[in-house]
Structure 1
Amino acid sequence: MHRLIPGTARTCFGETAPEFVRYSEEVLFGDVWRREELSLRDRSLITVSALVAAGQTGQLPYHLRLARDNGLSEEELAEAITHLAFYAGWPRAASALEVARTVFPKPASDE
């Protein structure tokens, strides 16, 4: 049995677009994300990279958290975004890092 990938579509769009919710839950997260050719970790890294490259930061908080749940460390995600700066553009990477900073806040230092 597969671990449930929690989505936000039902909460966000359930009353407005029930078919969108069904496609999100059944097709995207129920089928596409479950294909065995790539691990959940790899799918998360690809998804985060695509969102950063496209400048789509609205979905980034959810997918950064999911990526962490799927085995990517915060350091690996920051490194991926840094790498993308040279291929997707510095402003897009900087915007993604701002999102990551809010999703993964660092504790205040004692210095």
Structure 2
Amino acid sequence: MTEGSAPSDMEKLFGAFAPKLVSLTDDVLFGDIWERPELSPRDRSLVTIAGLLAGGNIEQLNWHIPYGLNNGLTETEITEVITHLAFYAGWPKAVSAMTVAKRILDAEKEESR
């Protein structure tokens, strides 16, 4: 965290408990990898959501689906990638991911009313 800036989500989550993980996430993953110009943030979000689903890391979708929306993904794109991957990553993973996506997307719609 730079002086005077708000703490990152990882800093809030782990702070002094796991400072190296916070640093690697903030400085390397989001400070370097996500900033590379070869893929847009939107495309990185779509790939990340797909990768998390395929790996069964469904809990991480709670952060990455809203981040993907902020990066320009649409509800249709998110639900379509989950549907598509049901056949490649497994039905239970896709159903679990769609459950998370539905909850988040429904909440987004409710907030915008």
The interval holding the TM-score normalised by the smaller chain is 0.7 to 0.9
Which residue matches 1:105? 106
Instruction: Within 5 Å, give how 1:3-22 maps onto structure 2.
Output: 7-22=8-23
Structure 1 residue ranges, 4+ long, deviating more than 2 angstroms after superposition: none
Amino acid at match of 1:87: Y
Which residue matches 2:96? 95
Higher normalized helix content (fraction of residues): 2
CA distance in 2, matches of 1:67, 1:87: 21
Which residue matches 1:3? none
CA distance in 2, matches of 1:95, 1:7: 27
Give the 3-state SS of the residue equivalent to 2:17 in structure 1: coil
The CA RMSD over aligned residues, in Å, is 1.7
TM-score (norm. length: structure 2):
0.85
CA distance in 1, matches of 2:91, 2:81: 13
Amino acid at match of 2:11: R
How far apart are 1:7 and its partner, in Å?
4.6
Pair 1:59 & 2:60 matched? yes
> Unpaired segments of 5 or more residues in structure 1?
1-5
Percent identical residues: 49
| Count of matched residue pairs | 103
Which residue matches 2:85? 84
CA distance in 2, matches of 1:83, 1:7: 32
> Unpaired segments of 5 or more residues in structure 2?
1-6
Q: Deviations over 1:58-97 (max 9, x none)?
A: 1111000000000100111001100000110111000000
Amino acid at match of 1:17: A
Which residue matches 2:35? 34
